[in-house]
Amino acid sequence: MNKIVLSCIAASLFFAGAVAKDSNLPLSNQATFVETYSPSEVTIQATGLGKNDKEAILDLRKCAVNFVLTLGTDPLLSTQAAKNQFDGIAEDFFDNTNINKYISWEANAVVSSVKTRLPNGKEGMKITKAVRVNKKLLTDDLAAKGFISSHEDLSTAIGMPTIMVIPEVPKDQTPLQVFDANPLAKHAAAVIESYLTARKYDVVVPQSVDQISQMTKLHGDIKGAEEDMGYQLALALGSDIYIVFAGMVYSQNKVTLQIKAYETTTSRLLGTETGYSASRPGPAEPLVEEAVNSAIDKVLQRLVNYWQDDVKKGIQYKLIFKSLSGTINEDVKDKISDLMDSTFALSKENIVSDKTLDYNVWAKKAEFNKSSKIYRAFRDGLKNTAKLSQIVINRKLIIIGVEPL
């Protein structure tokens, strides 16, 4: 596989100050992200320093692992608190024996090998080559030590996000129509879905769900005729996040692919990256896979960071009250607003009109482990003020009908 070198040269090492002579910490601070090789591995081109070739190569392995840990655009240790905590065990972590287990492959050929002056003032070697870091093993070990949350921890706390993958579409088409007409779009979605399932995410596939048109029409009626079809599909299927991709195949046998991830309840952009394939003759499918691999890992790391934030704030729901007859009177509006404040520690008022009230709420799983319990809380709280009925309860989307008593 040809290496697709993307930007991200580490400008400074996380560990401040000069490294002591007997320290296990990496001497070098120069590394570049090359590619996502697989769902569990990333290729890094790293530079190492040492008094001889053997020590310089060991140092570049440490530099590559440190890049994945604390540097780059999407490091595993994404908060300053996590980095400070890791600093306390860094010496043991970068022990020569321990660090080698994270290197799953190393190039035979070096990019460069030159004599240089080491930080201690003595003459030594500076070697650059590509290595492959087992990011999954690194992630699992960090989770076991309590520096980051594991998939299992997140799933226990709030459940892992359900994700849908769709192509970007023009206004006169739907994602399902694009899948039917464009085999490359279907292939790109399959590659992304394979990556997600390998990471143990729950994936919903639009093509396999019945009555999509009726469900999207319902949400279109509520949200307006010009609503984005991808957003409507995500709401209809109950996905927490939807990933949208758009690509281009060039005449010189090269593919670029942009991947964007949105939070379904708010349409907030969570991450975007563009992946590139090499230029080579042959079918387009392998080039599509290469472009996906160069972008998807960084997008998913941002999703994990977002999901960890929800552990603190609670699970986010879209909560809509819609009048089924006439308008919603002021007393009902006031009562709903008061219940929002008393029921949830955090809520956001999006729309208040005569016929529609639109909120985002953050609910703790310990109090609301099911969407239906949120509906029940408002039904019971408003029983002497209005009659509520269930329109849609679909994972994180709750639409409630309101009628006067």
Contact status, residue 163 vs residue 242, Cβ threshold 8 Å: yes
- C-alpha 190, offset from chain centre: 17
Residue 139 CB-half CA count within 13 A: 21
> In the prediction, which pLDDT does 154 show?
56
Mean pLDDT score of the chain? 83
Q: Residues near 386 by Cβ (< 8 Å), separated by ≥ 6?
A: 328, 332, 335, 402, 403, 404, 405
Q: Report d(CA 134, CA 102) in Å as an integer.
A: 5
Residue 383 CB-half CA count within 13 A: 6
- Does 231 have pLDDT greater than 60? no
- Does 208 have pLDDT greater than 70? no
> In the prediction, which pLDDT does 151 show?
56
Please give the backbone phi and psi of residue 328, each rounded to the nearest 5 degrees, phi first.
-90, 120
Contact status, residue 322 vs residue 356, Cβ threshold 8 Å: yes
Q: Residues near 29 by Cβ (< 8 Å), separated by ≥ 6?
A: 10, 11, 12, 13, 63
- Does 54 have pLDDT greater than 70? yes
Q: What is the mean pLDDT of residues 8-15?
A: 37
What is the bridge-based pairing of β-strands 241-250 and 162-167? parallel
- Does 395 have pLDDT greater than 80? no
Contact status, residue 99 vs residue 61, Cβ threshold 8 Å: yes
For 13-27, 165-179, 197-211, 229-243, which range has the lowest pLDDT when averaged over its residues? 13-27
Contact status, residue 67 vs residue 137, Cβ threshold 8 Å: no
What is the bridge-based pairing of β-strands 356-363 and 269-276? unpaired
Cα angle for residues 314, 319, 324 (degrees, 5° grid): 165
Q: Report d(CA 206, CA 216) in Å as an integer.
A: 12
Among 114, 97, 93, which residue's Cα sits nearest to residue 47?
114
For residue 221, give both structure tokens. 């009626």
Q: Report d(CA 258, CA 292) in Å as an integer.
A: 8
Helix, strand, coil percentages in the chain from 3-state DSSP, rounded to 5: 40, 30, 30
For residue 139, give both structure tokens. 């992630």
Q: What is the mean pLDDT of residues 242-267?
A: 87
Q: Report d(CA 386, CA 401) in Å as an integer.
A: 10
- Does 234 have pLDDT greater than 70? no
Residue with tokens 């290469």: 290
Q: What is the mean pLDDT of residues 171-198?
A: 89
> In the prediction, which pLDDT does 53 show?
96
Q: What is the mean pLDDT of residues 291-302?
A: 86
Q: What is the mean pLDDT of residues 318-322?
A: 91
Residue 63 CB-half CA count within 13 A: 31
- Does 16 have pLDDT greater than 60? no
pTM to 2 decimal places: 0.66
Rg for the chain, CA atoms, rounded: 25
Q: What percent of the chain has pLDDT over 70?
A: 82
Q: Report d(CA 18, CA 10) in Å as an integer.
A: 17
Confidence of residue 74 (pLDDT cuts 50, 70, 90): confident
> In the prediction, which pLDDT does 318 show?
86
pLDDT tens digit sequence for 360-385? 898 877 788 788 899 999 999 999 99
Residue with tokens 């960071």: 305
Q: Is the pLDDT higher at 21 or at 186?
A: 186
For residue 6, give both structure tokens. 């993307």
Confidence of residue 225 (pLDDT cuts 50, 70, 90): very low
Confidence of residue 229 (pLDDT cuts 50, 70, 90): low
End-to-end C-alpha distance for the chain, whole angstroms: 68
